[in-house]
Structure 1
Amino acid sequence: MPKPIWMNRRSWVAAWVVLCAAGLAAAAGLNASSTPDPQPEKPVSAECAELIADVEAQVAEARKEDEGDGVLAFSRVRDGAGDDCRDALRDHFRGDR
């Protein structure tokens, strides 16, 4: 039976360092490639822009009053705008802008 090849301690440490560095490089590459491309901003109609400005004004007024733990609520139906602005409002007020 052939004799097994024994590695000294330095060789084991060097092999682990190389493997760890390769793993970190691969993980960094995968994380960088999985970042989604930013979506281009969609044009907003004049009615939706007016509605967004109105909502922002109400939010700013509520923050200025700052009466504690309050909730600011808006109705879903608005004359003239309808449901056309739902996506524009959601995109504008999403937290990641």
Structure 2
Amino acid sequence: MPKPIPMSRRAWVAAWAVLCAAGLAATATLNASSAPDPQPEKSVSAECAERIADIERQLAKAKQEGKGDGVLAFSRIQVGTEDDCSDDLRDHFGGDQ
């Protein structure tokens, strides 16, 4: 049976320090590479922008009247419109959080 190579305590500590440094460097590299790219601003149709502005006005009016802590509800689809703006409204008002 071969005899194991003796290592001093300093050699073990140095090897451990090198492995820790390599692990930290690898972790930092992986974290930096996996950061999501910022999403470009989505364009909002004119109709949706008008609806968002209308809702903002209604919220401001309710806040001025002292009803700012209440709940406002809006229907999702208006009759005769192709675009219901639900995604745009959710994005603007943070409903996807």
Distance in 1 between residues matched to 2:61 and 2:15, nearest whole Å: 62
Pairs within 5 Å for 1:3-82: 3-62=3-62, 65=66, 70-78=70-78
Size of the aligned set, in residue pairs, is: 95
Give TM-score, length-normalised by structure 1: 0.72
The percentage of counterpart residues that share the same residue type is 72
Give the corresponding residue for 1:89: 89
Alpha-carbon separation, structure 1, partners of 2:39 and 2:68: 37
Give the CA deviation at 1:39. Answer: 1.8
Deviation at 1:77, TM superposition (A): 2.6
**Contact 1:48 / 1:81 at 8 angstroms: preserved in 2?**
no
* CA apart distance, 1:27: 1.0
Unaligned 5+ segments in structure 1 are none
**Larger RCO, structures 1/2 (Cα 8 Å, 6+ apart):** 1
Scaled by the length of structure 2, the TM-score of the pair is 0.72
The structure-2 alpha-carbon separation of the partners of 1:33 and 1:92, relative to structure 1 and needing over 3 Å to count, comes to same
Structure 2: segments with no counterpart, 5+ residues: none
Residue type at the aligned position of 1:35:
A
- Conserved? CA contact 2:44–2:88, under 8 Å: yes
- Tell whether the 8 Å contact from 2:48 to 2:88 is kept in structure 1 after alignment: yes
Query: What is the deviation of 1:87?
Result: 1.7
Cα gap change, 1:5/1:33 in structure 2, threshold over 3 Å: closer, same or farther?
same
